[in-house]
Structure 1
């Protein structure tokens, strides 16, 4: 009668797999989905999704469309899409992504930068009244902060 409220994160179909118990060092470049469950050291580049499984330990710079992180990554992750860190996922390094999702229990120990996608860039059709309102608000805020500082100091 009631549906299970816990949604499982569905991973994309795996085209390339580095299985648990396997170690690899080098560079992976693919136009396919990649799943790593073993140990990997090197660079990963994919035009699709990279999944780092729960048992994986990866020392890598990863560039992919999307990344799902359930294991450990030491390095950087760059995506034009979404980085999802699951409750078991741990990232120690830099992140540059368009969208970032960190589930409770997930770890991001490092720096993050949001990449603005073309769709999210402000349009060039902003009219002058919007700019005047924004700059007026900014001036009012700056003036009130200066007044507050002079009154307290």
Structure 2
């Protein structure tokens, strides 16, 4: 009577792979999905998804649309959309993302900045009275964050 639906969670297709047992040093710029299971040192920039596998050790600053972290990253991660840290994932550095998911056991040893997405609405004028009570240092901190928010959007 009821049809059972079995949807599988599919990982993004891997277009570029750095396999376990491989080490690479340099800069990677791609308009494709990237998966790293080996060792990498340098910068990574992708307009799609970057997956850091469980066996990976990456010393890098990563910029991508989405990042799935299951290995170790020493550096910063900046995503346009989602950063997911799995139970085996460890980030020793800073993160900037529109959405952050840290599963139980995952490690974020650094700071995180939540970037606004294009769809996010600014605070309404009802909150303006609260904004007037900000100190000078709070207002200057808000001004310092504006360039990061505009880069992500």
Fold shared per TM-score above 0.5: yes
1:70 aligns with 2:63: no
Partner of 1:105: 105
Question: So what's the TM-score if we normalise by structure 1?
Answer: 0.77
Rounded to whole Å, the distance in 2 between the matches of 1:9 and 1:79 is 21
Q: Secondary structure at the match of 1:13?
A: coil
After superposition, the CA RMSD in angstroms is 2.4
Partner of 2:127: 134
Partner of 1:44: 44
Distance 1:76 1:9, change over 3 A: farther
Rounded to whole Å, the distance in 1 between the matches of 2:98 and 2:12 is 19
* Offset, 1:39: 0.2
Query: Which structure: larger Rg?
Result: 1
Gaps of 5+ in 1: 142-153
Partner of 1:17: 17
Partner of 2:139: none
Gaps of 5+ in 2: 134-153
Q: Secondary structure at the match of 2:119?
A: helix
* Offset, 1:122: 2.1
Question: So what's the TM-score if we normalise by structure 2?
Answer: 0.77
Rounded to whole Å, the distance in 2 between the matches of 1:72 and 1:9 is 23
Q: Is residue 11–residue 51 contact of structure 1 (8 Å, CA) maintained in 2?
A: no
Q: Is residue 15–residue 32 contact of structure 1 (8 Å, CA) maintained in 2?
A: yes
* Offset, 1:8: 7.8
Rounded to whole Å, the distance in 1 between the matches of 2:51 and 2:109 is 19
